Amino acid sequence: MKTVLITGCSSGIGYHVALGLQQRGYRVIATARQLKDVERLKQLGLESTQLDLERSESIQQAMDWVEANSGGELFALFNNGAYGQPGAIEDLSRDLLRKQLETNLLGWHELTCRVLPLMRRQGYGRIIQNSSVLGLITLRFRGAYNTSKFALEGYTDTLRQELSDTNIHVSLIEPGPVRSRFRENAFKAFRDNIDVKSSPHREIYEKVVLRLSSEDKGDDPFTLGPDAVLHKVIHALESKRPKPRYYVTLPTYLFGFLRRLLSTRMLDRVMLRVSSSEHK
Q: Give CA–CA dist 175/251, Å, rounded.
A: 9
Q: Give CA–CA dist 267/48, Å, rounded.
A: 43
Q: Is 247 a catalytic residue?
A: no
Burial-class residue 113 by CB neighbours within 10 Å (0-12, 13-18, 19+).
exposed
Of 26, 83, 145, 205, the catalytic one is: 145
Q: Give CA–CA dist 154/152, Å, rounded.
A: 5
Q: What are the angstrom distances between the C-alpha of 122 and each of 43, 74, 171?
A: 31, 8, 19
Residues 6+ apart with CB under 8 A from 100: 83, 85, 144, 145, 147, 148
Residues 114, 115, 118, 121, Cα dihedral to 10° = -90
Helices then strands, each counted (H, E), the chain: 11, 7
Q: Give CA–CA dist 174/246, Å, rounded.
A: 6
Residues 255, 256, 262, 265, Cα dihedral to 10° = 60
Active site residues: 145
